[in-house]
């Protein structure tokens, strides 16, 4: 993604509403809220989250009640609920309000990368909606992923993992939250164990990065992949937005009532640590979300 330099990055954020733009009715000054920022779509520094005051879009703001800001930040991503529940993406049946995670609907979803920020939330949402979740992570992250309620957890470094996942039978949905050559290759070994020449299980893979890029494996005939890119403001997503982000909507209730769970925050601060935090993410984090405390 091209950004002009200098800029201020950072998303999502949490804090107190300090001032309202014209016509804002969803929240009031003093409300405790969390939301994604517009920095990557608007590309202006005032929208970046790595600062003490930041301009956000009313439509994306979620009231969080008494939930600590640090705890709310890893939970407020729109990516997993849009990937899973938008009618234009995987179109899973949405969880009831309140959810009944123990009533299974008999469908299975592979969420590759269960210890990632996006994968962990995806497990939580899919479970709330009654899906059987199959996921991968490093062995050290099994307890974390287990605590999110994943049904089947496999070590992504074990070469036998694709075969063992294949033994679980038909998988209805495929979500690659890692979308690196290693994850794509592992998913293809489940779907086409003998390569293009052998039997191929037709499937559509939703992925968080494009599959069509250098280094990624070629998809055999019958297997398609799509990168998940989602605009909460698009007209076609209005109905999803109402469900997820309206006042009293699923994210607000899910965060306040503890239904939505993800990786724990790893807090650093204050703002002078932003560069260090970006380096940590660049080098690769495991089972946590780096959160900058701007007032420390």
Ligand X SMILES: NC(=O)c1ccc[n+]([C@@H]2O[C@H](COP(=O)([O-])OP(=O)(O)OC[C@H]3O[C@@H](n4cnc5c(N)ncnc54)[C@H](OP(=O)(O)O)[C@@H]3O)[C@@H](O)[C@H]2O)c1
What region does 263 belong to: left with phi over 0, alpha with psi -120 to 50, or beta? beta
Instruction: List binders of ligand X among 170-189 (CB under 6 A).
Output: 177-178, 180, 182-183
Residue 16 in 3-state DSSP?
Answer: strand
User: Does 229 participate in binding ligand X (rule CB under 6 A)?
Assistant: yes
Half-sphere exposure of 232 toward its Cβ, with a 13 Å CA cutoff?
23
Bridge partner list, 173: 109
Beta bridge mates, 205: 174, 225
Backbone angles phi and psi of 133, in degrees to 5? -105, 130
Q: Which of residues 108-167 bind ligand X (CB under 6 A)?
A: 113, 115-118, 137-138, 141, 156
Site for ligand X in 199-228 (CB under 6 A): 208-209, 228
User: Closer CB to ligand X, residue 7 or residue 79?
Assistant: 79
In SS3 terms, 41-94 reads as HHCCHHHCCCCCCCCCCHHHCEECCCCCHHHHHHHCCCHHHHHHHCCCCCCCCC
* Nearer CB in complex with ligand X: 38/156: 156
- Interface positions, 274-293, toward ligand X (CB under 6 A): 284-287
CB-wise, 17 or 82, nearer to ligand X? 82
Q: Which is nearer to ligand X, 235 or 283 (CB)?
A: 283
When the beta carbons of 108 and 156 are compared against ligand X, the nearer one is 156
User: Which residues of the shown chain bind ligand X in the complex (CB under 6 A)?
Assistant: 79, 113, 115-118, 137-138, 141, 156, 177-178, 180, 182-183, 208-209, 228-229, 284-287
């Amino acid at each position: 993604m091209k950004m002009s330099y200098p800029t201020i990055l950072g998303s999502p954020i949490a804090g107190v509403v300090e001032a309202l733009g014209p016509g804002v009715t969803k929240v009031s000054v003093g409300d405790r809220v969390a939301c994604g920022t517009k920095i990557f779509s608007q590309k202006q520094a005032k929208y970046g989250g790595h600062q003490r005051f930041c301009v956000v879009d009313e439509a994306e703001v979620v009231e969080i009640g008494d939930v600590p800001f640090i705890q709310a930040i890893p939970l407020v991503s729109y990516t997993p609920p849009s990937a899973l529940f938008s009618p234009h993406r995987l179109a899973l049946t949405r969880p009831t309000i309140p959810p009944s995670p123990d009533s299974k609907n008999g469908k299975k979803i592979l969420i590759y990368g269960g210890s990632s920020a996006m994968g962990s939330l995806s497990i939580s949402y899919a479970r709330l909606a009654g899906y059987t979740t199959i996921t991968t992570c490093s062995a050290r992250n099994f307890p974390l992923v287990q605590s999110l309620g994943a049904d089947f957890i496999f070590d992504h470094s074990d070469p036998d993992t694709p075969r063992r996942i294949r033994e679980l039978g038909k998988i209805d949905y495929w979500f690659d939250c890692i979308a690196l050559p290693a994850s794509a290759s592992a998913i293809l070994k489940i779907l086409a164990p003998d390569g293009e020449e052998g039997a191929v299980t037709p499937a559509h893979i939703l992925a968080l990065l494009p599959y069509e890029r250098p280094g990624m494996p070629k998809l055999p005939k019958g297997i398609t992949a799509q990168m998940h890119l989602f605009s909460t403001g698009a007209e076609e997503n209005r109905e999803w937005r109402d469900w997820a982000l309206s006042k009293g909507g699923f994210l607000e209730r899910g965060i306040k009532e503890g239904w939505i769970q993800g990786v724990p925050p790893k807090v650093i601060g204050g703002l002078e640590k932003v560069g260090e935090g970006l380096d940590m993410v660049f080098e690769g984090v495991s089972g946590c979300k780096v959160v900058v405390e701007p007032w420390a």
